[in-house]
Structure formats: C-alpha cells, structure tokens
Amino acid sequence: MNIFGNLGTVGLALVLTVLLIAGLYGGGKVKALSWWWTVLIAMLAGSTYKAAGGMFSIVPDMVGSLVRLANHVFKGATMPAFALCLVITMLWVKMSTKQVAVVALIFFYVASGAGGRWSYISDAIENFRSGVQ
C-alpha cells in the first residue's frame, strides 16, 4: 500500500526539515518533540541533506566550512575527533531541543564524513538515490 507515492531524497529531506521545525515548537494536536526524537530526526535529516544535494547542500557546505576552520585552528584534528566532541557537547551541556537539533545536524554530517558506522546511514541513502536515478 503506497499512500504518498515516491518521496525521493529531496522530498524526504523536505519532509524531515518540516517535521524537525514544526516538531520543535509543537502547540498543535501533537506535543513538541522530545530530546531523543529530535536527535533521531536530525540524524536522518542530516544524512538525507548530504544525499539530496541541491538546495539542501547549504547545510553540509556550511558545516564543511566550520570543520575546515576548526581543522586550521586545531592542526591534525580528525573528523572522528570533532564528532566525539559534538557528542560530548550534546550529552553533557544543557541545551534546549532547538539547540540539540542544530548540534545533531552538525554532528551527523561530521560523523558521516568521519567514516565508520555513522556513515552507513548517509551511504545507504546516497546509494538508494543513485540506484533510483
């Protein structure tokens, strides 16, 4: 049963962005997103942004610029080191869900570029997008 048809990667990125923005504020029939739901949706959105490209490449490009800047400041620091610093920040610094959403988007872009297990999600979305085209 196919209710929405083929969303595609750009459609998925758009839907996750709207869900993240609307879910952070709540106020409608459904309450605002919890911390863990915010992290999960930001993880999927960040991975989808990388695969979708186009307008959604603004986020990866901006984060990439921040990572390059941090790499000039901390010579020799690797993407896994930056990803771990972001995880520590998310877990131990008191943040609102809006702040968690931004840090989680940055984290999942950095983590997907770091390789390892975190890159599986963005690689799977990218492989799916390539296979569909």
Structure confidence at residue 7 (pLDDT): 76
Q: What is the pTM of this model?
A: 0.75
Task: Check if the beta carbon of residue 82 is closer than 8 Å to that of residue 67.
Answer: yes
* pLDDT tens-digit map of 105-123: 888 877 776 777 767 776 7
* pLDDT tens-digit map of 16-54: 989 999 998 877 888 899 999 998 898 888 878 877 777
Between CA 55 and CA 85 the distance in angstroms is 28
Annotated domain spans of the chain: 8-132
* pLDDT tens-digit map of 71-95: 889 888 887 888 888 889 988 999 9
Structure confidence at residue 1 (pLDDT): 43
Structure confidence at residue 105 (pLDDT): 84
Structure confidence at residue 57 (pLDDT): 78
CA dist 52 to 6, 15, 22, 106, Å? 14, 12, 21, 16
